[in-house]
Structure 1
């Protein structure tokens, strides 16, 4: 007789337990934490938040949210509701993306916009054919839901995207 649990391998093959179905990995959902939660909560309400430096002599707005000012390094920064207005800086139409769920969305327009408050932001342009896109065109924010909206596990998010004003 061999040492060890020789019988367990045979039992597993005689009575296989079906594996639970695995959901496809999502590459479009952020990880919300205590710092970013105000941003995602505001987005769910249809508001775009920025961070603004409150240090004397600076006052710069920035995006993506950080806990410090990227211009003067002050930690005296706070949340501010943006106007939601922007202009198109550049764009690229994506025709192929193999990562879930982007493959179901192609083609889509990835873009960088200049927010009215100053910062540049990566986003997506919606409701506009590529032939009508122009550098400097005025845009306005709206929000797209993704994930399980209202899910208690926090998997539902609203994302700021832009369309022509």
Structure 2
């Protein structure tokens, strides 16, 4: 599955976006290009840079083992796609804040991409 290839990249701490032969970059991984509908897609490594597009601070935990508050954001990657992710580090946060990629390890060896402020 396409998603498996993306998650395999996180094991090596590589953030991958899909690129179509038409030049369009997209995230999350799909079978078709969201611009042209083409199927000539390949993964390319993203720079790990972006900016905060929108965010919210969560104060109510979805389960008792989740520590609050935490910040969920839409980050526009330098390559163009928007990624739903978590912001880490001190606030306050604002839209258009520059961010850079970081990683949070998962128990199975994969890593979850998160973003921190880019000074």
TM-score, normalization: structure 1? Answer: 0.67
Structure with max Cα Rg: 1
Q: Please report the RMSD computed on the Cα atoms of aligned residues, expressed in angstroms.
A: 1.4
- Determine the structure 2 residue equivalent to 1:142: 102
Instruction: Give the aligned partner of residue 109 of structure 1.
Output: 71
Normalized per residue, the structure richer in helix is 1
| Greater strand fraction, Structure 1 or Structure 2 | 2
Q: Which runs of 4+ in 1 moved over 6 A?
A: none
Structure 2 stretches of 5 or more lacking a match? Answer: none
Gaps of 5+ in 1: 1-33, 151-156
Q: Distance in 1 between matches of 2:52 and 2:62?
A: 26
Aligned counterpart, 2:57 = 93
Tell me how many residue pairs correspond in the alignment: 118
TM-score norm. by structure 2 comes to: 0.91
Partner residue, 1:76: 40
